[in-house]
């Protein structure tokens, strides 16, 4: 499998180099067929990069510790889902995910570029090929994920316990692939701005790439928010540079898509704009409720209760169900505290916060214990439980009441739906522009042929 991964990665590098070379020759020699060849070479690079990513996922699940990346970020005791999630735990995997999104988007964009005139088409394909080549150079030379170690260790070093959460496992790959698509969109946008006028097809391509960026980044950011609120005291400590950068790119994609969509569009594009406005407004309300949270740090012993009032003036009562210690296969020892909340005399779901100690195959602790929060969702307010300290018979906890927290998820779903509709509208607009251009070209050829026939029919004077 290692050789297959190396072959796929280096093959993608070669295809990207061929694409850059052919696009350069196409611009210099005015050979449109070279531009077409460069676009197909980029497609080959996208296929092989995806294959390399698949091989890396396979060796992670198989626990092939002869590969340095696998030995560094996984262990035998990890569940297969976490082993697969380790694909984004280190720089080699991060770069490969980003390069995969970039290569796929660049290949799609290049096939739009070959329909432009010789100069603009070659310039677009060349720019995309150079960016993909740069990304694959980093992957293959500086951060190759398939480097072997000799001798192979018996077990790996394991994954950071704070990253062993389903939301993080899904969020990070989505963010990286979305940033790769955004990179290709930035290249197309820069050329569109610097080399006007580009055709309606290229403007439609820019809208497609912006919408595709939104489709991947919106769920990634939402899952990142969820993951950050689940760790420690729920204070978004895991909200790192990747998430902040993704938010900035997402906002930029919204602006680009918004500007590129005609304001007078009465069809699907206009409807998608209105859906996005609703989603953004709902999300903004959820964010605005962040300062309205009610929080308190309390010492709760087993069986003890406490009360807290939310922003709407309703009284919440929390009854401690006691601490418990148990083993969660395959690699966790858990110390947990559960609270039974009621609001206005009505019960809401139980919430449980945990302190998890992760162990290796020999039962030895690998890292410091990790704390996770518990959540109980009400009609308008969500209650969150975080452990500050825990021991036999009681715990020091932080209880937070967050009004209208669910609006964040609802707004993100509506925004995602708007992005999907904008992508469909952009695809339809590009198809119509391609059909109109083909019709205009056919009519021009027919007119030229008719003029040539009439010229030959006219007798010389």
Per-residue pLDDT reduced to its tens digit, 22-67: 989 886 777 778 888 889 999 999 999 999 999 999 999 988 888 9
Segment 125-136 shows an average pLDDT of 93
pLDDT at 439 over 90: no
Q: Which helix (H) or strand (E) holds 346?
A: strand 346-347
Q: Per DSSP, what are the bridge partners of residue 309?
A: 315
Min mean pLDDT across 263-277, 299-313, 322-336, 385-399 is at: 263-277
- Please state, in angstroms and rounded to a whole number, the distance separating the CA atoms of residues 204 and 186: 14
Bridge partners, 372 (sequence order)? 231, 354
pLDDT tier for residue 328 given thresholds of 50, 70 and 90? confident
> Residue 403 to residues 285, 293, 372: CA-CA distances in angstroms?
10, 7, 21
For the segment 394-408, the average pLDDT, to the nearest whole number, is 89
End-to-end CA distance of the chain: 78
- SS3 (DSSP) at 39: helix
Confidence of residue 413 (pLDDT cuts 50, 70, 90): very high
Q: Lowest mean pLDDT: which of 125-139, 227-241, 311-325?
A: 227-241
Q: What is the band of 437 on the pLDDT scale with cuts at 50, 70, 90?
A: low
Query: What value does the mean pLDDT take over residues 148-165?
Result: 81
Residue 237 has pLDDT above 60, yes or no: no
Please determine, for residue 131, whether its predicted confidence score (pLDDT) is greater than 70. yes
Burial class (CB in 10 A: 0-12, 13-18, 19+), 57: middle
Tell me the C-alpha distance between 186 and 192, whole Å: 10
Work out the mean pLDDT of the chain and round it to a whole number: 84
In this prediction, residues 83-95 reach a mean pLDDT of: 89
Q: What is the pLDDT of residues 264-278, one digit of tens each?
A: 566 777 788 888 889
Peptide bond into 457 cis (omega under 30): no
| Whole-number pLDDT of residue 138 | 92
Residue with tokens 């602790």, as numbered in its chain = 365
The average pLDDT across 377-386 equals 86
| Residue 231: per-residue pLDDT | 77
Looking at residues 220-233, what average pLDDT do you find?
81
Give the model's pLDDT for residue 2: 80
What pLDDT does residue 124 have?
87
Question: In whole angstroms, what separates CA 134 from the centre of its chain?
Answer: 21
Neighbouring residues of 132: CB distance < 8 A, sequence distance ≥ 6: 16, 19, 42, 45, 99, 102, 103, 106
Region class of 178: left (phi > 0), else alpha (psi between -120 and 50), else beta: alpha
> Residues, the chain, total?
461
Rg (CA), the chain: 28
Which one of 65-69, 100-104, 227-231 scores highest in mean pLDDT?
Answer: 100-104
Q: Give me the mean pLDDT over the 330-340 stretch.
A: 85
Q: Which of 108-117, 267-276, 277-286, 311-320 has the lowest mean pLDDT?
A: 108-117
Residue 117's pLDDT is: 62
Give residue 9's pLDDT: 93
Which has the minimum average pLDDT: 35-49, 241-255, 441-455?
441-455
Answer whether residue 389 shows pLDDT above 60.
yes
Question: How much is the pTM?
Answer: 0.85
Average pLDDT on 445-454 reads: 75
Taking the C-alpha atoms of residue 266 and residue 435, their distance in angstroms, rounded to an integer, is 20
pLDDT band for position 197 (cuts 50, 70, 90): low
- Give the three-state DSSP class for 365: strand
Longest Cα–Cα distance of the chain, Å, equals 114
**pLDDT band at residue 432 using 50, 70 and 90 as cut-offs:** confident
% the chain with pLDDT above 90:
28
What pLDDT is recorded for position 267? 75
47 within 8 A of 103, measured Cβ to Cβ: no
DSSP 221-274: HHHHHHHHHHBTTSS-TT--HHHHHHHHHHHHHHHHHHHHS-TT--SHHHHHHH
Mean pLDDT within 422-443: 76
Write the pLDDT tens digit of every residue in 348-368.
888 999 888 877 666 666 677
Write out the two tokens for 407: 């609006």
């Amino acid at each position: 499998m290692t050789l297959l991964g190396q072959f796929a990665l280096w093959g993608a590098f070669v295809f990207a180099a061929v694409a850059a070379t052919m696009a350069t020759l196409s611009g210099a020699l005015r050979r449109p067929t070279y531009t077409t060849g460069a676009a197909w070479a980029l497609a080959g690079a996208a296929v092989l990069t995806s294959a390399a990513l698949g091989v890396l996922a396979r060796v992670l699940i198989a626990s092939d510790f002869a590969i340095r990346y696998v030995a560094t970020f996984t262990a035998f005791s990890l569940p297969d889902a976490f082993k697969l999630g380790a694909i984004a735990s280190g720089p080699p995997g991060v770069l490969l995910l980003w390069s995969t999104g970039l290569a796929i988007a660049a290949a799609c964009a290049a096939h739009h570029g070959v329909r432009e005139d010789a100069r603009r088409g070659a310039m677009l394909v060349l720019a995309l090929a150079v960016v993909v080549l740069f990304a694959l150079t980093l992957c293959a030379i500086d951060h190759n994920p398939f480097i072997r170690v000799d001798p192979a260790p018996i077990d790996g070093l394991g994954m950071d316990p704070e990253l062993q959460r389903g939301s993080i496992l899904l969020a990070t790959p989505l963010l990286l692939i979305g940033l790769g698509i955004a990179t290709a969109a930035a290249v197309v946008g820069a050329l569109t701005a610097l080399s006007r006028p580009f055709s309606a097809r290229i403007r439609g391509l820019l809208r497609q790439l912006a919408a595709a960026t939104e489709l991947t980044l919106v769920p990634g950011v939402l899952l990142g928010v969820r993951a950050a609120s689940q760790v420690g005291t729920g204070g978004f400590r895991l909200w790192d540079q990747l998430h902040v950068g993704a938010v900035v790119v997402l906002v930029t994609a919204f602006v680009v898509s918004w500007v590129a969509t005609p304001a007078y569009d009465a069809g699907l594009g206009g409807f998608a704009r209105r859906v996005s406005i609703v989603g953004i407004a709902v999300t903004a309300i959820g964010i605005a409720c962040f300062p309205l949270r009610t929080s308190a740090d309390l010492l709760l012993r087993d069986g003890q209760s406490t009360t807290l009032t939310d922003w709407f003036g309703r009284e919440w009562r929390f009854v401690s169900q006691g601490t418990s210690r148990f083993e969660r296969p395959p690699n966790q020892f858990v110390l947990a505290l559960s609270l039974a909340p009621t609001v206005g005399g009505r019960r809401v779901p139980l919430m449980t916060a945990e302190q998890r100690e992760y162990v290796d195959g020999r039962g030895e602790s690998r890292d410091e214990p990790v704390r996770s929060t518990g959540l109980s969702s009400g009609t308008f307010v969500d209650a969150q439980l975080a452990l500050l300290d825990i021991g036999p018979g009681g715990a020091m906890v932080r209880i937070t009441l967050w009004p209208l927290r669910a609006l964040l998820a609802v707004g993100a779903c509506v925004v995602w739906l708007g992005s999907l509709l904008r992508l469909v509208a952009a695809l339809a607009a590009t198809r119509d522009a391609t059909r109109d251009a083909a019709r205009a070209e056919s009519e021009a050829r027919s007119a030229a042929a008719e003029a040539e026939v009439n010229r030959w029919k006219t007798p010389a004077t």
